[in-house]
Structure 1
Amino acid sequence: MTTATRTGRHPSTLATLWRSTIGKKAVMAVTGLVMLLYLVAHMLGNLKVFFGPEDINGYAAWLRTIGQPFLGHAWFLWIARLALLASVVLHGVSAYQLSRRDLAARPSTYAHKRRRASYATRTMRWGGVILALFIVWHILDLTTLTVNPAAEEGHPYQNIVASFGNWYSCLVYVVAMLAVGLHVRHGFWSAAQTLGANNARRDRALKLTADGLALVLTAGFLSVPVAVMTGVVK
């Protein structure tokens, strides 16, 4: 028997999917993969700092011209930002709602067992909180340039050097990137399971891929503040 809404209409397929546990897990998996692709592209863009100011500043200017003349100046960037924001929100809401369902479904007498067995879950949860806070800081630091001590509009190389010239900015970034690595490692494997990509023959390869992605992303992102702190980039 189907259930109708208060207005007498049956819920749509998307609404039904969203309300289901498997639907929320699928949303988490897909949005997680979207964010992973963004992280890979973002890391590769960041590494241009090692080729000097002209290279990375030119790259930043080029990003604002993608899609022209069909798109206006910087329209592509804003479309990408909105898509990324939607992915972050859907990912976070799905994670929170699944966590609440998990807590509600488990008897309190087994709480001590759940705490011992859910290291990955706790890591993902707190890692997500850390990353959400970091995103706000990162936008204020290198996008809006609100908290950057020596910001220069249109000069990302100089802004990166100015930001990582401060120990507290480096500390925030290092903690966040370690959280990124753990989040990617656990999240990639969980997404593979949700999307049905894993099986007995592929499990080892998927786990190695998750470890490799986490290691490469963490090392790639951390190489920039380390280079600034050690004077390699100045």
Structure 2
Amino acid sequence: NPEVYLAFADHRGRPFFDLLTRVTAREPRRVVDLGCGPGNLTETLASRWPGAVIEAWDSSPEMVQAARGRGVEARVGDVRDWAPTPDTDVVVSNATLQWVPEHMELVVRWAGRLAPGAWLAFQVPGNFAAPSHQAVRELAAQQRWSELLGDFPFREPDVVLSAEGYAGLLTDAGCSVDAWETTYVHQLSGPNPVLEWITGTALHPVRSRLSDADWESFRAELIPMLDVHYPRRADGTTFFPFRRIFVAAHVC
């Protein structure tokens, strides 16, 4: 959901820029953004590397439409179908690969097809064991909701590797790897800010399976479960810790 996603654009954008500080390509020919979302961050790639061709993919038609509205030449596509062209010098993926169960194989394949000197940089959330996600899994497992949600594909805690795990994969694939993790403590404002945050991304599979009325009921039941773990502070804000894993791999 581009509108909901952009409500937290500043918080969501910070990991993107932290990742790109480790990519030192000077004059890349082609820069690819896999999972470009609404294009607000893709725009900055064109500013940083004005001589590069910017290629942008996202699986969501709504996100691609929003990106095109910003002037980004985005296309609808599954990252599993993407392959680098010979002039691809930088590949960036921000908070996308966690949605692809076989992404470990994908990044190794991409590294093997990129030319020496190219960069593969990605960031994935590492918060699938966080209270926010645990609360959603617990609620979805209740009889009423399990019957409606069916094979609800909410992400389990082991869908991403550790920083060390990715470093090992890509080092073995012939890359020089910088991998690390950071836990951001986002200070959010407004009513039910954690619910609104996960509504823009993690709860999308729930929303797509429920009627409007059931969706509002699910949200209403989730609010007190989230409030237990993310209480509102005296100043009216809420702290939301969010762990992320970063990898910047330089193909040797």
Q: Quickly name the TM-score band, shorter chain normalised.
A: under 0.3
Which structure dedicates a bigger proportion of its chain to strand?
2
- With normalisation by structure 1, the TM-score equals 0.25
Structure number with bigger Rg: 1
Q: Which has the higher contact order (CA 8 A, sep 6+)?
A: 1
Which structure dedicates a bigger proportion of its chain to helix?
1
- With normalisation by structure 2, the TM-score equals 0.24
